[in-house]
Structure 1
Amino acid sequence: MRLLSDKISARISSKRRSRLAGPAVILLGLLLTGGLYAMFAPANGAASTANSDDVAKGRALFLVSCASCHGKNAEGIVTRRGHNHGPSLVGVGAAAVDFQVSTGRMPMAQPGVQALRKTPVFNSTEIRQLGAYVASLGPGPAVPSSSETDINGMSADEISRGGEFFRTNCTACHNFQGHGGAMPEGKFAPKIYEDTPRQIFEAMITGPQQMPVFADSVLSPQDKREIVGYIKAINSEPGYGGFSLGSLGPVSEGLFAWIVGIGVLVLAAIWIAAHTARSKKKVEADA
């Protein structure tokens, strides 16, 4: 019996010394880790629940207006030089479609550094159908519900908390009043006070263009709702006089002070000096 046990131990030891033992253990560990993550990780997006009629109509609209840039199956198109002519839309979700199309950024009138806001091309029904088709391609953020974007009746505490979140996460690009600002490579953070509450919420969960995505682990849906409430609250306040200078903060204010303020002082000093010289000449002539 002991001899049999020694043979089995020797066989196991020889297998451990095999060249394939190390890669096999690593592969097993990766499979185990991936399986556990898939079981316990939170979902990244919601699966499509749209009816087949909306999906079919959305695909028809997509083929006419979007496929030239994003491909017939929304797989994206890469140019010969390796640039991204139109990114893949698989997994972006209905929320991304609703934001881009309802703000008129898509379809783009012409290629550029950044898609600009303009009058929407599609109506609300067509936007819903386009979103249904894109959502059917892969799970992604869904269009937020009315309860998530309803800011009516928000308390002062909620708006105050929204201001804290906004100043911490948003002002670096959009400035303190949400009027936007310049960014590298010819891009810019757009003004956001013109957007609807739903569009602002969608921007936070989809990260359009250079904007980061604020997942629920970073900002909860309630946090996002409070940010929306704060943005709408500060931009509904009346102006109390003076020049806003675009509400861009110390940059525009300092530029105004240097060019206009100091410029006026310089002109005044030149005028005073010139008139003083004329007065002295006149006195000398009279004498």
Structure 2
Amino acid sequence: MRLLNRSAGRLSRYRRSRLAGLVLLLLGLVITGGLTYAVMPTSQADSAQTNAVEVEEGRKLFLQGCSFCHGQNGEGVRTINGDNLGPSVVGAGAASVHFQVGTGRMPMTRPGVQSQTKPQVYNEEEIRQLAAYVASLAPGPAIPEEQDYTFEGLDEEEREAAIARGGQIFLTNCTACHNFAGKGGAMPRGGYAPSLDGTSAIHIYEAMLTGPGQMDTFSNGNLSPDDKRDVIGYLYSLREQPAYGGFTLGSLGPVTEGLFAWLVGIGGLVAFAVWIAAHTTRTSKKKKVEA
């Protein structure tokens, strides 16, 4: 009986110890983590492990090629004069990285008013790794799946209706910058809206989702995923549309058409008038000589 009382007293003293709570907490975390990993499906465990590897590889690539402008933790860098050398990418999301790096806009060759489209520096796997690392910094737009920007599962009639809706959305929201045929145009302060002719569907979707440069951001609250898909369908339909009017002149609108009219139309008429006048003068001189 005395032995039992002594053991109970020791346990009571240990429970009152300051370390007892910490030990119990750590023990609970270890047990919970072990049970969670044991119960988790194999596919989810493999996916989590793969994502962790992508994040780590993306961090190495980021430190090597992006940290000079965007900071070692993606917080951005400012110069001594207070200029923004590279903005913060915390919260930019994987979609923004996939667009900027996938179109060659990043890394920039030199700071400028607007980043230019150029050949990719990183391959697709490295781009995914960079995107995974930036996504791990803070929540942001994810890279869209293929079904988000394709008409998969729609019949011909539904596709035509979707393209018509996409045309209305594009003409309402996008033509002021990209022109009615998506050929692009000049923007204030030295910027420009690029042509969408050669832009892939996933990058068009990501541009609407993240709003790069001077472009407005069309989040899913502004334009639903179906609306974005319909806009992409409309733009792709323009690429297949024949030039019914003959010369398209780049489809840049009334500026190029008016310039063509002045140079070719009015210019041709002036040249023809000059030729007629010169021919008339020579004919008059010949008649005078004969007389």
Identity of aligned residues (%): 56
Match of 2:251 in 1: 247
**How far 1:240 moved relative to its partner?**
4.5
* Distance 1:64-1:230 versus aligned 2 partners, 3 A rule: same
Gap runs ≥5 in structure 2: 1-47
| Aligned residue number for residue 128 of structure 2 | 128
Look up the equivalent residue of 2:284 and give its one-letter code: K
Q: Structure 1-normalised TM-score?
A: 0.80
**Contact in 2 for aligned 1:162/1:227 (Cα 8 Å):** yes
Partner of 2:53: 53
What is residue 97 of structure 2 aligned with on the other side? Answer: 97
Structure 2 Cα separation of the partners of residues 241 and 54 of structure 1: 51
* Residues 226-263 of structure 1 deviation map (CA, whole Å, 9 limit, x = unaligned): 00110011112234573221110111101111122111
Answering whether residue 215 of structure 2 is matched by residue 220 of structure 1, we say: no
Structure 1 outlier segments of 4+, above 6 Å: none
2:192 alignment partner, one of 188, 192, 216: 188
Secondary structure of the 1:178 match is coil
Give the whole-Å Cα distance in 2 for the aligned partners of 1:216 and 1:149.
Answer: 13
Counterpart mapping for 1:147-226 below 5 A: 147-152=147-152, 153=154, 155-226=159-230
Partner Cα distance (1:218, 1:254) in 2: 36
> 2:266 matched to which residue of 1?
262
Q: Is the 8 A contact 2:105 2:117 kept in 1?
A: yes
Residue type of the alignment partner of 2:63: L
Contact 2:151 2:159 survives alignment (8 Å): no
Distance in 1, Cα, partners of 2:283 & 2:259: 36
Give 1:25's aligned residue. Answer: none
Match of 1:10 in 2: none
**1:71-150 alignment to 2 at 5 Å?**
71-150=71-150
1:54 Cα deviation (Å)? 0.8
Task: Find the counterpart in structure 2 of residue 274 from structure 1.
Answer: 278
Contact 1:177 1:235 in 2 (8 A): no
The answer as to whether partners of 2:182 and 2:197 remain within 8 angstroms in 1 is yes
CA deviation after TM superposition for structure 1 residue 98, in Å: 0.3
CA RMSD of aligned residues (A): 1.4
Taking the aligned partners of 2:161 and 2:142, their CA distance within structure 1 comes to 28
> Aligned partners of 1:194 and 1:109: how far apart in 2?
22
State the secondary structure of the residue aligned to 2:283. helix
The question of whether the paired residues in 2 share the 8 Å contact of 1:92 and 1:134 is answered with yes
Contact 1:93 1:139 in 2 (8 A): yes
Q: How does 1:7-86 map to 2 (within 5 A)?
A: 51-86=51-86
For residues 91-140 of structure 1, the C-alpha deviation after alignment (integer angstroms, 9 at most, x for no partner) is 00000000011111111122221111111111111111000100111111
Q: TM-score, normalised by structure 2?
A: 0.79
SS in 2 for 1:198: helix
Q: What number of residue pairs does the alignment pair up?
A: 239
- Do the aligned residues in 2 keep the contact of 1:114 with 1:187 (CA within 8 Å)? yes
Contact 2:62 2:130 in 1 (8 A): yes
Give the match's secondary structure for 1:155: helix
Q: Is the 8 A contact 1:151 1:228 kept in 2?
A: no
Does the 8 Å contact 1:205/1:213 carry over to 2?
yes
SS in 2 for 1:265: helix
Give the letter aligned to residue 283 of structure 2: S
Secondary structure of 2:119's counterpart equals coil
Q: How far did residue 192 of structure 1 move?
A: 1.1
Distance 1:256 1:238 in 2: 21
Higher helix share: 2
Instruction: Tell me the SS of whatever aligns to 2:106.
Output: coil
Kindly provide the CA deviation profile for residues 13-61 of structure 1, in whole angstroms up to 9, marking residues without a partner as x. xxxxxxxxxxxxxxxxxxxxxxxxxxxxxxxxxxxx8721111100100
